[in-house]
Structure formats: structure tokens, C-alpha cells
Amino acid sequence: MALISDERLCDLSHDEIARYSRHLLLPEIGLEGQKRLKAAKVLIIGTGGLGAPLALYLAAAGIGEIGVADFDFVEASNLQRQIIHSTKDIGRPKTASAKDKVRGLNPGVKVTEYNVALTSANAMDIIKGYDVVADGTDNYQTRYLVNDACVMLKKPNVYGSVFQFEGQASVFYAEKGPCYRCLYPSPPPPGLVPSCAEGGVMGVLPGIVGIIQAGEVIKLIIGNDGKDSLIGRLLIFDQWRMKFRELKLDKDPKCPVCGEHPTISGLIDYELFCGLKPEKKELAYGTLTPFELKARLDSGEKIQIIDIREPHERAIAKFPEAKPMPIGQIARRCDELDPELDTVFICKIGTRSIFAINALFETGYSGKVYNLQDGINGWARDIDNSLPRY
Amino acid sequence: MSVSLLIPTALRGFAGGSAEIELEGATAGEVLAALAKRHPEIKEHLYEEDGNLRSFINVYVGDTNIKSLNGQDTAVKDGDSVILVPSIAGGGSWL
Ligand SMILES: [Zn+2]
């Protein structure tokens, strides 16, 4: 059964026939396929690295209605890859900037902005009016939220994800194959895997993966019934080694949302599920703001400062008097620390350093340890403006 | 058996920076254990405290998930590729 029913199709104008001529010439798309694209409603979640090429190519392809959901504002550091936004858009809501760009490219596309965070409270209402969802988010709680809502609403979820030089793409469509939870039942605990804000990403990579997603969206709509789509297949892509691999995805009969006996039938608290609401427990380490660390250093106190960043990051911004110890070496080199002295761990934004501290405690370390809040970026912001923030 | 283990970007820092390592083992589990022995820092990324594989890392032998085969007991043969496929979440606005 076609995703877009025949009753929804209407004729193309002469202008549309001219605009979409190269699609109409493909027998796989043709007039009927283009009418389906015109009737289709696609929701793009996130207008960042993946959402940018998704929105542009789907608009160019003549999707009738595009929803864009994002609560964020354009920043300078987005422009290395989020090509739907321009320098003049810095500070604007991303959905507004995306809407302008889409309308400039194709005024025939109706754009709906959702300038809000997608949550358990609004996701079902937003998603239910669309035929296909394209997931271009960058965090686990939204990915599980989008997955579960799509399973419950029987919508295909066109998935893409990137990290550093590596991308993944698939189509999760529980009606015909596995869902995201069949592959990954639960997310990594916070801090175990660095985010892209810390780990970096090659700007071209989300472009490639987002365009793969756009292609899958179009194929689902023109109605080959998902046959040649990425349903049941996971594409993994290593940009640096320039290798694509295709892996089989099976539906998990025990999947809690799409399995034989689902245990989750409504949206849940995804922050809790992703471990982002830890129980209030006594932390084994303290936290210092940049101002507090500065005051202690100024008082002449002897403190060990450990920079857990990688060498290429230290080349961007060096922390004065810090001893470099990349996070992967903490356990092996813990003997180099003096437990008699207070120790402050620093990273880029103060999150990876918590993971490093936990790794240190696992070795049985007994000294007093602090985390520098907001990392070296915080230090550059509050104390030393001569350092760049990255 | 000598197989090549493919390491994703997110874990290379815990495996001496390697993208691909030749390892010995008769099963997927033995290959992973050989990796953890050579690079102890990667261990906590692969295993739960009870020794089970973490749920956000999938292990493939060729193009098939070991969850669909015999789990860590899945046999490997000379020349096979064992691939670690962790979940990654990036791609959105806040990258
Ligand atoms: Zn599932």
C-alpha cells in the first residue's frame, strides 16, 4: 500500500511540470511519483548538520509540506556544516532561517515551523500529521522519543547519525521491519561517549548522511512500498577511510516497543531513560567554577591541574600549568598523581572530565578531586580572554 | 583463527588509535577478549560489570549481528571481519 493514498493526489501545474522535468523523465518517479511528492508531508526533526541537506533537497524535490522542528539558534560554529543557515542568520531561530532558505529555493513548498524542543508532551501531536519523519537530532533522548512515537503512530522514521568521520543511516519502520530500539535497546550512560560538541565532526559528513536520508524519504513516498529502501539494513560509512558497509538489521521479537509483547505503550520520560536525571547522590568529586579555581591559584595554593584533552585540542588552547593526560591514559598513569594534593580535571566544556574522574576513582584513587565547570571554554570566557573558545 | 576487528571512530582512542586490528580467536567473544587484553582501556566501553556486552554496542561478524547468531559464542573463521557498531547520536543542531 502506498504511503500517500491516491485520493490525496492532484494535478501538477505547467510551472511544476517544468520545474520537476528531470524527475518526470524517470519512469520510477514520473508524473504519478511527483504528484505523491507534492501531496506528501515530511517532518524534519533538527535543522542542524543532517536537517540542513534534508530540508534543502526535500524542498528541491517538491515535497508539498515540510515541518521543521528545532528550538535552537544559529551560532557561528554551526556554519562549518549546517549549510541551510548563513552568516547573516547568526542569532536567529534555526527554524526561521531554514524556512527562509526553503521558500527561496522552492516557494511551492509549505513550511511549518516548530520552534520548540520535542518532548513527550508534544511529540505525538506534532508527528501525527506527517507521512514520514526524518530524524536529524543529535541526542539520545530525542532519538528514543522520535523512535517510540513513530512506532506508536505507525510512521516510517528515516534515521541518520554522525560522529567525527563516521555515519549511520537506516529506515526504522516497525510496520515492515525493525525499529531503533531493536538495534540499540538503551543508550550509553552520559559521558561515556563524547558528544560531537566535544568529539568534533567533519563538516561534509552530515551532508552526505543527510542526503542519503533525503533519498530514502523520497523513495518511501513514491511508493515502491519500501522494497528497495534501507528498511532492515544499516548503512555505516567511514568518511576518512572512504568505506561504506551494509549490515543486516533484524527485528527483535523482545523489543519493548515493536516486539511481540511490547511493554512500552505510551511515551515515557526520556531524560530519565537516558540517565540524565541521576538520583541525588553524594558526588565523589567537587566542582570548581573558573573564578574559584583562579582564586585558589592566586592564593598560591599548590594544585595539580590535569588536562584530559587530546594533543590536537591542546594545540587550539593551552591551559597554563596543566599536566596533559589524555582521557584514555588515566587508568594507566594514575600513579603520576599525588593524592596528597588537590587535583582539578579540565576538558573542553567540563563533561568529559567527569568521565575521567570516574575512571580515576575506579583505580582506587583516594585523593581529593575537582572538576572544572565549563572546562577550558569556561576559563577562556571568565578568566583569560586571550584563549580562543572552540 | 586470525580475523580483523574494525574499530569505530568513537572507540579508537581506547585502542591505541587503530581503525583495524588483526586478532586471534575462534569465537567473536574470544576476539573481543583479545582486544580487551591488548587495550585494557577499551574494556569498560565493551562490557557491563557482569561481563555481558553493553547494549549500545552491536558486534557484527560479516554483515550479521551476533545477536542473530550465537552471541559471543558465534564462531569466526580466518579472514572474517568483526565489526563494532556503537550507537552514535550526532547530527543535529547542537553538534
Ligand atoms: Zn523495535
Distance from CA of A244 to the nearest CA of B (A): 12
Residues of chain B contacting A238 with CB distance shorter than 8 Å: 9, 19
User: Which of A70, A101, A84, A65 has the alpha carbon at shortest distance from A207?
Assistant: A84
Please report which helix (H) or strand (E) contains residue A222, including its range. none
Cα–Cα distance, A260 to A246 (Å, whole number): 26
| In chain B, % of residues over pLDDT 70 | 95
Q: Which of A70, A136, A248 sits opposite B91 (nearest CB)?
A: A136
Phi, psi at A188, each rounded to 5°: -65, 150
Residue of B nearest to A251 (CA): B68
Touching check for B84 and chain A: CB below 8 Å? no
pLDDT the model gives residue A159 = 97
C-alpha cell belonging to residue A326: 589524555
Q: What is the DSSP string of A8-73?
A: G--PPPHHHHHHTHHHHTSTTTHHHHHHHHHH-EEEEE--STTHHHHHHHHHHHT-SEEEEE---B
Touching check for A252 and chain B: CB below 8 Å? yes
pTM for the model:
0.85
All residue ranges of chain A with pLDDT < 70 are 191-198, 278-282
Crossing angle of helices A204-221 and A30-39, rounded to 10°: 110
Mean pLDDT over each residue of chain B, to the nearest integer: 90
Cα–Cα distance, A371 to A360 (Å, whole number): 12
Please report which helix (H) or strand (E) contains residue A319, including its range. none
CB contact under 8 A, A206 and B93: no
State the CATH architecture for A286-382.
3-Layer(aba) Sandwich (3.40)
Angle at A303 between CA A302 and CA A306, to 5 degrees: 150
CB contact under 8 A, B87 and A188: yes
C-alpha cell belonging to residue A230: 534501507
Contact A20, A34 (CB under 8 A): yes
Cα–Cα distance, B5 to A348 (Å, whole number): 31
Angle at A79 between CA A51 and CA A380, to 5 degrees: 125
Structure-derived torsion over alpha carbons of residues A191, A377, A326, B54, reported in degrees to the nearest 10: 10
- CATH of the structural domain A6-273, one choice from 3.90.1640.30, 3.20.20.450, 3.40.50.720, 3.30.300.30: 3.40.50.720
CB contact under 8 A, B91 and A199: no
pLDDT the model gives residue A104 = 97
pLDDT for B40-85, tens place per residue? 888 888 998 888 999 889 999 999 999 999 999 999 999 999 999 9
Touching check for A236 and chain B: CB below 8 Å? yes
C-alpha cell belonging to residue A282: 553524594
Q: For A154-166, give one letter per residue: b (16+ CB within 10 A) or e.
A: ebbbbbbbbbbbb
Residues 6+ apart with CB under 8 A from A25: none
Q: What is the DSSP string of chain B?
A: -EEEEE--HHHHTTTTT-SEEEEE-SBHHHHHHHHHHH-GGGHHHHB-TTSPBPTTEEEEETTEEGGGTTGGG-B--TT-EEEEEE---B-STT-
CB contact under 8 A, A192 and B45: yes
Touching check for A53 and chain B: CB below 8 Å? no
Touching check for B89 and chain A: CB below 8 Å? yes
Touching check for B48 and chain A: CB below 8 Å? no
**Measured in angstroms, how far is the CA atom of residue A232 from the centroid of ligand 1?**
11
From-to residues of CATH 3.40.250.10 in chain A = 286-382
Can you tell me the ipTM of this complex? 0.92
**A320, burial (CB in 10 Å: exposed 0-12, middle 13-18, buried 19+):** exposed
Coil, strand or helix: which one is A79? coil
Residues of chain B contacting A241 with CB distance shorter than 8 Å: 19
CB contact under 8 A, B93 and A47: yes
pLDDT the model gives residue B93 = 36
Q: Which residues, listed in sequence order, are joined to residue B24 by a DSSP beta bridge? A: B2
Touching check for A117 and chain B: CB below 8 Å? no
pLDDT over threshold 50, residue B92: no
DSSP tag of A287 = E
Residue of B nearest to A250 (CA): B68
Cα–Cα distance, A272 to A119 (Å, whole number): 13
pLDDT the model gives residue B95 = 28
| Domains by residue range for chain B, with CATH | 2-86 (3.10.20.30)
Contact A94, A47 (CB under 8 A): yes
Alpha helices in A106-241 (DSSP H): 123-127, 140-153, 180-183, 196-199, 204-221
Active site residues of A: 196, 347
Whose grid coordinates read 518511501? Answer: A220
Check residue A283 and give left, alpha or beta (phi > 0: left; psi -120 to 50: alpha).
beta
Q: Which of A163, A210, A332 sits opposite B9 (nearest CB)?
A: A163
CB contact under 8 A, A48 and B95: yes
From-to residues of CATH 3.40.50.720 in chain A = 6-273
Best interface-test mutation with B: which of A192, A254, A333 has the largest number of B CBs within 10 A?
A: A192
Cα–Cα distance, A17 to A14 (Å, whole number): 5
CB contact under 8 A, B94 and A138: yes
